[in-house]
């Protein structure tokens, strides 16, 4: 796709994605709010600037691969895909309904454009490693594998098994992205199971690590460009994000990890996001 948008355009797209996330979750009556809202800038950057992809040909042989390991955050992916043209935006309102293509965790065979099924946390990096090894066997060198991971899921041991394997085989076409929002369903990550200095951890496993503000679209795009310049090492981008970004009463509050807004909260959240959109537009004219 790679149609170039201005940063201001991308910020407005991210805001639209957040609005749709709120609508989807309220309509579904279940789902996860904080993580998807925090990831909206990253998924906007991926779908509207970074990835090689074609919504009209989701199985295009030259496409980049995007895996979502923390599958409960899939509302942000659905909203970004709809905005990019993979399916009509009105279908977003079928989230979590019986028979819908948009289940609460992504199911690869239900929706063209999804590359993996995820739900059990910690599996995404292993899936990426398998794909990267297959590409190497097929001598494919022009495609990238991006895998979005949660920080809380790094409590899982299988993450670190995959981390070692990626280092052993120097899978430098993998760009992993940790959503470092510091929350998980039971509380703050550093209270539940301290992750401490993630940069040092990943570097000790042989990875090249880049840290970035994940809610700064331009900075994230630049971080991905730097990642693609690295050779001989897999790359981890630690993206610091605000859980619940854009909705004041959700921001930084771990209790919004796994619950949707009710109707009154939807109205309040959408009002905040529309005000924010107005500010973004006014800044574009300053």
pLDDT at 119: 83
Take residue 160 and report the two structure tokens written for it. 């670190």
pLDDT tens digits for range 107-138 = 999 999 999 999 889 999 999 999 999 999 99
Decide if 248 contacts 275 (C-beta within 8 A).
Answer: no
Question: Residue with structure tokens 């992205």?
Answer: 177
pTM: 0.96
Question: Residue with structure tokens 């401490």?
Answer: 196
Decide if 63 contacts 54 (C-beta within 8 A).
Answer: yes
Take residue 31 and report the two structure tokens written for it. 């789902």
- How far is the CA of 168 from the CAs of 161, 207, 220, 227, 233, in angstroms? 11, 10, 27, 18, 9
pLDDT at 130: 97
Ordered structural domains, the chain, with CATH: 7-285 (3.40.50.970)
Q: Which of 5, 29, 30 is nearest to 83 (CA)?
A: 5
- Write the DSSP assignment of 130-146 as a string of letters: HHHHHHHHTT--S--EE
pLDDT at 286: 66
Kindly give the confidence (pLDDT) of every residue in the chain, 286 residues in length, as a single tens digit, with 9 standing for 90 and above: 556 899 999 999 999 999 999 999 999 999 999 999 999 999 999 999 999 999 999 999 999 999 999 999 999 999 999 999 999 999 999 999 999 999 999 999 999 999 999 988 999 999 999 999 999 999 999 999 999 999 999 999 999 999 999 999 999 999 999 999 999 999 999 999 999 999 999 999 999 999 999 999 999 999 999 999 999 999 999 999 999 999 999 999 999 999 999 999 999 999 999 999 999 998 877 6
Please state, as a whole number, how many other Cβ atoms lie within 10 Å of the Cβ of residue 53. Answer: 21
pLDDT tens digits for range 204-232 = 999 999 999 999 999 999 999 999 999 99
Decide if 235 contacts 208 (C-beta within 8 A).
Answer: yes
pLDDT at 3: 61
Please state, as a whole number, how many other Cβ atoms lie within 10 Å of the Cβ of residue 271. Answer: 11
């Amino acid at each position: 796709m790679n149609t170039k948008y201005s940063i201001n355009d991308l910020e407005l797209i991210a805001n639209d994605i957040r609005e749709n996330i709120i609508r989807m979750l309220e309509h579904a009556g279940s789902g996860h709010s904080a993580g998807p809202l925090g990831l909206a800038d990253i998924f906007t950057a991926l779908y509207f600037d970074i990835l090689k992809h074609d919504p009209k040909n989701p199985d295009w042989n030259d496409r980049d691969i995007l895996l979502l390991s923390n599958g409960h955050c899939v509302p942000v992916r659905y909203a970004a895909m709809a905005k990019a043209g993979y399916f009509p935006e009105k279908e977003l309102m079928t989230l979590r309904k019986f028979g819908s293509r948009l289940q609460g965790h992504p199911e690869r065979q239900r929706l063209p454009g999804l590359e993996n099924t995820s739900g059990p946390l910690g599996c995404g990096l292993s899936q990426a490693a398998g794909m990267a090894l297959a590409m190497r066997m097929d001598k494919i060198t022009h495609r990238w594998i991006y895998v979005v991971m949660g920080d809380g899921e790094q409590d899982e041991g299988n993450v670190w098994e995959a981390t070692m394997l990626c280092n052993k085989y120097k899978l430098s076409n993998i760009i992993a992205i940790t959503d470092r929002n510091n929350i998980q369903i039971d509380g703050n990550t550093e209270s539940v199971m301290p992750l401490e200095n993630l940069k040092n951890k990943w570097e000790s496993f042989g990875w090249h690590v880049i840290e970035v503000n994940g809610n700064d679209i331009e900075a994230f795009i630049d971080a991905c460009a730097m990642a693609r310049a690295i050779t001989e090492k897999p790359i981890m981008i630690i993206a610091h994000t605000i859980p619940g970004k854009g909705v004041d009463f959700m921001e930084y509050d771990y209790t919004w990890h796994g619950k949707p807004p009710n109707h009154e909260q939807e109205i309040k959240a959408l009002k905040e996001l529309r005000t924010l959109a107005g500010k973004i537009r006014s800044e574009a004219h300053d």
